Chains A and B, each alone.
Chain A
């Protein structure tokens, strides 16, 4: 697996290690690709589709999510073609339509020149990116939350909506959540409740018996609010 693969990214022939994803290769070479559901240290998931790139040559070119696509010998990648930009803008509009209150999504939209969206406005607090599920399983080794149901009813939470025995209230799920982050750092304590990684009680509010516990929030704004 230590061989090298050469591929073309935006016309530049580069050589990278096998086993890398297109996203890693492009970022390594300095081509920016926006991502939302990608995080180093977590397995790629390909949920947000923001990292789309165009691969292949003209009549057979297609869009793939770069975070899940492994590099191939002779692959031709375009990270900012007109088609990619258009797809990315559409995805941002859809994200804005479901989660307009997320600071991360707002910033991404602004950075990609998306000023408004043309869909029915919703106010979801979860985009089902799976970051919280993956960090809980892969980094915190807990598996306290997961996906439930399917289709329209798909949601993230604990089994039976009960507090999970596996949950150590580490707060990692809230830390990584792109949709609820704003709420977690809200200035009113009753609204400091995170809805993104649904159905978990906010770690910091139950936290008194867990003073020495590992917490991802440093400094935790919700804890500060509790003190005051």
Chain B
């Protein structure tokens, strides 16, 4: 699901950041919030109208884990696998996430609902294992609490479809 890139929109983002400080990372961050990822076309536009070459822009975009060059799912699940989280059982949490979502770490589900990613540290080691769901940090996650976490992100349609079923069976 490649996003359709409106060149004027990207130009506007670059202009806004150039006026402030000319930061490439800030520009790319905003492009990513608009499109959910960094489309190739947008990177080319950014390189074109800033003083940076495409090589530099691409280098920055691939260097940081928070940038994605592939379209991400509507829900972004990010599990920490840093040392502290690792010893507190993060691998089990990731395994459970993979099992429930039916995708491997780094993949996006076929219906475009979920993207599962792992990172090496989120800087909240005392609270590990950490799982970030759509920007919300969840601390001390266990494999058993994964189900609850994912329930909050369930798409509206799926929730509506599943709720009547429960109602029927309870009757």
Contact = CB atoms under 8 A, between A and B. Distances in A.
A76 B88 CA distance: 49
A149 B53 CA distance: 16
Interface of B: 40, 43, 53-59, 62-63
Interface string A157-193: 0111000101000000000000000000000000000
A144 interface: yes
A150 interface: yes
B57 to A, nearest CB: 8
> Majority SS of interface residues in chain A?
loop
B40 A146 contact: no
A166 B58 contact: no
A26 to B, nearest CB: 33
A146 B56 contact: yes
Given A159-B43, A160-B40, A148 B58 contact: yes
A159 B58 contact: yes
B62 A143 contact: no
Given A148-B62, A150-B63, A143 B40 contact: no
A150 B55 CA distance: 14
A148 B56 CA distance: 9
Interface residues of A, number: 13
A149 B62 contact: yes
B55 A143 contact: yes
B152 to A, nearest CB: 32
A159 B55 CA distance: 6
Contacts of B57: 159
A147 interface: yes
A149 B55 contact: no
A147 B59 contact: yes
Contacts of A149: 62-63
Given A146-B55, A147-B59, 4 more contacts: A146-B56, A149-B62, A149-B63, A150-B62
A145 interface: yes
Contacts of B54: 143, 159, 164, 166
A112 to B, nearest CB: 33
Closest 8 CB pairs of A and B: A146-B55, A159-B58, A143-B53, A149-B62, A148-B62, A159-B54, A150-B63, A143-B55
Contacts of A145: 55
A7 B60 CA distance: 39
Contacts of B55: 143-146, 158-159, 164, 166
Contact of B59 (A144, A146, A160, A164): A146
Given A143-B53, A166-B53, A148 B59 contact: yes
A150 B61 CA distance: 11
Nearest to B44: A159
B39 to A, nearest CB: 11
Nearest to B56: A146
B96 to A, nearest CB: 26
A144 B43 CA distance: 15
12 contacts: A143-B53, A144-B55, A146-B53, A147-B59, A149-B63, A150-B62, A150-B63, A159-B54, A159-B58, A164-B54, A166-B53, A166-B55
A15 B138 CA distance: 62
Contacts of A166: 53-55
A158 B55 CA distance: 7
**Chain A CB within 10 A, most for which of B43, B55, B56, B57:** B55
Contacts of B43: 159
